[in-house]
Chain A
Amino acid sequence: MNAAIDNHWYPVAMITGIDAPRETLLLGKKITLGREDGTCWVLDASGAELPTVERFGHLWTSPGQPNRDLFTIPEADNPGRRLVDVGSVKVKCSPLRAVENFLDIAHFPFVHTDILGAEPHTEVDRYDVKIREEVDEVWATKVKFYQPQAAKSAAGGITTEYMYRVPAPTCSVLYKTCPPRPGEWDIITLFVQPLTDEWCEVWPWMALYDDDSTMSEMVSFQQLIFMQDRSILENQIPRKLPLDPGMEVPTQADMTSVAYRRWLKKIGYTYGAQLVAA
Chain B
Amino acid sequence: MDWVAVALTEDVPPGVVIPSRIEDTDLAIWCTPSGRYHAWSDRCPHRGMRLSHGFVRGETLACIYHGWQYNETGSCDYIPAHPKLTPPDTICVPTYTCAEEGGVIWVSLTDTDRPLPALGGRTPVRSLPVNMSAADLAAHFGATTFTTIAVVSDVDVLLAVQPCTGGTCMVHALAAAEADRSSVSHWLENLRATLEGVPA
Contacts and interface: CB of A to CB of B under 8 A. Distances in A.
Contacts, number: 64
A251 B81 contact: yes
A216 B125 CA distance: 50
Interface residues of A, number: 23
A119 interface: yes
Given A110-B65, A111-B64, A249-B91, A123 B47 contact: no
Contacts of B82: 123-124, 251-253
Nearest to B47: A248
A119 B80 contact: yes
A232 B46 contact: no
A159 interface: no
A235 B50 contact: yes
A107 B65 contact: yes
Contacts of B49: 232, 235-237
A148 interface: no
Contacts of A251: 46, 79, 81-82, 85
Given A237-B48, A248-B47, A232 B65 contact: yes
B45 A248 contact: yes
Interface in A240-258: 242, 247-253
B47 A236 contact: yes
B183 to A, nearest CB: 37
Contacts of B167: none
Contacts of B80: 106, 109-110, 119, 122-123
Which 8 residue pairs are nearest across A and B when measured between Cβ atoms?
A122-B80, A253-B81, A106-B81, A124-B81, A236-B48, A235-B50, A237-B48, A110-B67
Interface of B: 26, 42-43, 45-50, 53, 64-67, 79-83, 85, 90-91
Interface of A: 106-107, 109-111, 119, 122-124, 231-232, 235-238, 242, 247-253
